[in-house]
Structure 1
Amino acid sequence: MTDEKWIDIRRDLHRIPELGFQEFKTQQYLREYVETLPQDFLTVTPWETGLFVFVEGTVGSQTIAYRTDIDGLPIKEETGFSFESIHEGQMHACGHDLHMTIALGALTEIVYDRPEANVVFLFQPAEEGPGGAEPMLASEPMKRYAPDFVFALHVDPKREVGYVASKPGLLFANTSELFIDFHGKGGHAAYPHETRDMMMAASAFNVQLQQVVGRMVDPLKSAVVTLGKMEAGTVQNIIPEHARVEGTIRTTDAETMDVVKQSIEQMLEGIEVRYGCKTTVDYGANYYMVDNDEDYVERFKQAIEKTNVTYIEAESAMTGEDFGYMLKELPGFMFWLGVDSESGLHTSRLNPNEDAIDIGIEAIVAMIREG
């Protein structure tokens, strides 16, 4: 059973979700908690709206980094919790409130019972967008601490509490947002020949887009291209001069991401000719794949065997995580933490089981002590 202290902290954090690089209340809350800990071997360095919290080890022969994300999502909460978000239209719908609480719990154990290794806790902003991992990786504090490896967790609503899951190699996919605008000439519905109909152009693009994976991508590699939003027009009898589509691209290797983007741009050139329009494409936030280091996953498995937590092998998923940028530069891994929620990630009713907090703390501390 999770200590009431951690449940209270999780609920405090759940009330104040903030979007990427706007996590001012969250940063303050985290700093105030860290200031309650013994400071003799602890250094706190603010970075943007996040924090670096460094704990000096008893030997310091290596430095281990543990990363947690701290931002929320632009989702209206519908949980009915007594501790619902106080920020209208914003919610911790991806479990980052649990992520932060677990990190604080692990930090607390490490401060009071220091390991041989140095440990730096990375409280990273903007995971959900526009992406905080890459700039944090390039920051001066990261270069100064120069961790030997880095690891992180993500809550998994589909797995039961008491279980963690990971795997060597690809865990999460390369991802890219996709925003395309179509600009033509509007006009009266009775005179379509005098217009350049952007609803038609966007619709034709949507149909053609489905050919990218089937005909442009190596069938031995995986990719997903999905449009989730289309906007065009104002009233029923005016042909729209502008249309916009929004979607996502996901691939299992970086090269395939380049192939998909090149195919989309070639397709848009054809749309411009066919429909007499101009198009602009924006790939928004791009996340590199989470590619776990085999040796560190094996060390994690060995560490978990010494605990009451159960390790199981995960499967690769087409979800995205900007932690992949850290793993691109540093060895390490990410693992799933079972939280047994009927509602999934990025939903307005996500309800993770708070008993998972203790499990996450135990898993992290075990890995830090395993080294």
Structure 2
Amino acid sequence: MAEPIRDRLADVRREFHRYPEPAWREFYTTHRLVEEIREVGVDELAVGTEAYDSDDRMAVPDAEDIEEWSERARERGADPELLDSMEGGNTGVVAVLNRGSGPTVGLRVDIDGLFIEESTDDDHVPVAEEFSSEGDGTMHACGHDSHMTWGLATLEAIAESDFEGTLVVFFQPAEEVSGGGHPMAESRFADDLDYLFAVHVGLDHPTGEVVAGIERPLAMCHVDVTFEGTSAHAGKAPQDGDNAMQALGTAIQNAYAIPRHEDGMTRVNLGWAEAGTSSNVIADFAHIEAEARGETTELMEYMQSRLNRTLETAAEMHGCDVDIDVRSKSPRADSDPELADVVANVARDADGVESVLPAADFGASEDATFLMRRVQENGGLATYLIVGTDHPTSHHTPTFDVDERSLEIGVDVLVESIRSVPGTEA
């Protein structure tokens, strides 16, 4: 019998931190989650395509990349049968506890890491205490290791409590590329949710502070763009070329000139680009990875349509073709004040909590909004809470870390919030 998760929160979090895996390649991560969930004992455990429709996924990498990470997990000792069930990168888990009549409550936590090389500085705590990433250029630099720990510990605590109702825990892959929220939201497990909690650690809120519900997450879309031109000798016959490099430059300049909108905040960014082959060859290809965001879903769609028009015009101006691939999207969904109030009331009485904010602007994007919107459209309530943690540097940096005191706080707030929703008999 394994030691209770609640008694080894730091150890669980540190193991996840040691083995980060990127979006749709969380094979070993899913293996370890399943091992822990089986120890807890649940009424239903769905992995991969049992948890969602594979065709609903977004931002899926190429098959060769997926297989490479699957083999790494196999070498690390992941269950071969479980790996077979995740073939094609269908990672992630949904766990269900049925505890009699009462509401159906969802909890969503994310599980993927980032392509960031973790710091090797001696004063970086994971280095000093020997749990830094062994993931070859990947890192849990956004706290998803803590989120998974919360999900497991909350599942265990609810299983051992007198909670009456159904708890569904979504261990969601591919948040960092906004690829996993949509299939989870479209799955049968989201059909009957009365309440949904999503949670994040830190986000510039200190240890001891809890935000009961975020507001104003930005709707977002990721776009991959390829320009195709015609190569030619840059010295002998430049007139014979259609220069994809010029299309790229025109697109970059004009994208940042897209007019903003009076209805609210908008963003556009062309964050990565490459083009051409040599200084003496007219470039016949160029590639961009871009994004558009908006304060509302409608504003994001305005920015996306203007970005598309800018890209198409740049291609036409320089005689090129352009392919625009929307890799992923996420809508805006705000926390419901009624459910945020439940979190706030619980947090005020939780050990270690010194400050409770009823609401705060999020200012970034999150694909948990797919699940939130699904619940809200079905007449339920959703909230996205933040459990503060002192982190030495910002999220998505090589020296990001969490204050492990926040692990206990997060479990307390989540468990008691779930047990306190209207209709439960706690």
305-314 or 59-68, which moves further after superposition?
A: 305-314
Is the 2:221–2:329 contact (alpha carbons within 8 Å) kept by the matching residues of 1?
Answer: yes
80-89 or 148-157, which moves further after superposition?
A: 80-89
Where does 1:18-57 land on structure 2 (aligned, <5 Å)? 18-37=21-40, 39=41, 42-48=42-48, 49-57=91-99
Say whether 1:121 aligns with 2:169: yes
Is the 2:202–2:389 contact (alpha carbons within 8 Å) kept by the matching residues of 1?
Answer: yes
How far has the Cα of 1:4 moved from its partner? Answer: 6.3
Partner residue, 1:343? 393
Letter in 2 for 1:293: D
How far has the Cα of 1:313 moved from its partner? Answer: 4.5
150-159 or 222-231, which moves further after superposition?
A: 150-159
Q: Which portions of structure 1, spanning 4 or more consecutive aligned residues, are displaced by more than 6 angstroms?
A: none
Partner residue, 1:370? 420
Distance 1:328 1:141 in 2: 14
How far has the Cα of 1:342 moved from its partner? Answer: 2.1
How far has the Cα of 1:31 moved from its partner? Answer: 2.0
Distance 2:311 2:171 in 1: 40
Distance 1:270 1:55 in 2: 53
Partner residue, 2:234? 189
Q: In structure 1, which of residues 302, 308, 311 is the aligned counterpart of residue 356 of structure 2?
A: 311
* Aligned pairs, number: 360
Letter in 2 for 1:62: P
CA displacement 1:163-204 (0-9 Å, x = unmatched): 11144642x211111221111122233243332222221111
CA displacement 1:94-115 (0-9 Å, x = unmatched): 2111001111222222222232
Say whether 1:150 aligns with 2:174: no
Is the 1:14–1:97 contact (alpha carbons within 8 Å) kept by the matching residues of 2?
Answer: yes
Percent sequence identity is 28
Q: Given the superposition, is the C-alpha separation of residues 188 and 367 from structure 1 closer, same or farther in structure 2, using an over 3 Å criterion?
A: same
Is the 2:201–2:386 contact (alpha carbons within 8 Å) kept by the matching residues of 1?
Answer: yes
How far has the Cα of 1:75 moved from its partner? Answer: 2.3
How far has the Cα of 1:129 moved from its partner? Answer: 3.1
Partner residue, 1:360? 410
Letter in 2 for 1:349: T
Is the 1:290–1:334 contact (alpha carbons within 8 Å) kept by the matching residues of 2?
Answer: no
Q: Which structure: greater strand fraction?
A: 1
Distance 1:123 1:3 in 2: 18
Q: Given the superposition, is the C-alpha separation of residues 270 and 53 from structure 1 closer, same or farther in structure 2, using an over 3 Å criterion?
A: closer
Q: Given the superposition, is the C-alpha separation of residues 124 and 273 from structure 1 closer, same or farther in structure 2, using an over 3 Å criterion?
A: closer
Q: Given the superposition, is the C-alpha separation of residues 340 and 189 from structure 1 closer, same or farther in structure 2, using an over 3 Å criterion?
A: same
Letter in 1 for 2:385: F
Distance 2:249 2:262 in 1: 26
Partner residue, 2:337? 294
226-235 or 263-272, which moves further after superposition?
A: 263-272
Scaled by the length of structure 2, what TM-score is found? 0.79
Distance 1:289 1:349 in 2: 30
Partner residue, 1:96? 144
Is the 1:45–1:141 contact (alpha carbons within 8 Å) kept by the matching residues of 2?
Answer: no
Where does 1:1-371 land on structure 2 (aligned, <5 Å)? 5-37=8-40, 39=41, 42-48=42-48, 49-57=91-99, 60-79=101-120, 81=127, 82-129=130-177, 131-143=179-191, 146-167=192-213, 169-170=215-216, 172-190=217-235, 191-212=237-258, 215=259, 217-308=260-351, 309=353, 310-330=355-375, 331-371=381-421
How far has the Cα of 1:35 moved from its partner? Answer: 2.7
Distance 2:323 2:242 in 1: 16
How far has the Cα of 1:137 moved from its partner? Answer: 2.2
Letter in 2 for 1:272: A
How far has the Cα of 1:337 moved from its partner? Answer: 1.7
CA displacement 1:320-368 (0-9 Å, x = unmatched): 1110001111120101221211222222221111111011111101211
Distance 1:168 1:70 in 2: 20
Q: Report SS of the residue matched to 1:118.
A: strand
Q: Which runs of 5+ in 1 are unaligned?
A: none
Q: Report SS of the residue matched to 1:319.
A: coil
Distance 1:251 1:23 in 2: 29
Distance 1:298 1:168 in 2: 12
Q: Given the superposition, is the C-alpha separation of residues 269 and 106 from structure 1 closer, same or farther in structure 2, using an over 3 Å criterion?
A: closer
Scaled by the length of structure 1, what TM-score is found? 0.90
Letter in 1 for 2:27: F
Distance 1:116 1:78 in 2: 45
Q: Report SS of the residue matched to 2:162.
A: coil
Distance 2:189 2:47 in 1: 8
Q: Report SS of the residue matched to 1:160.
A: coil
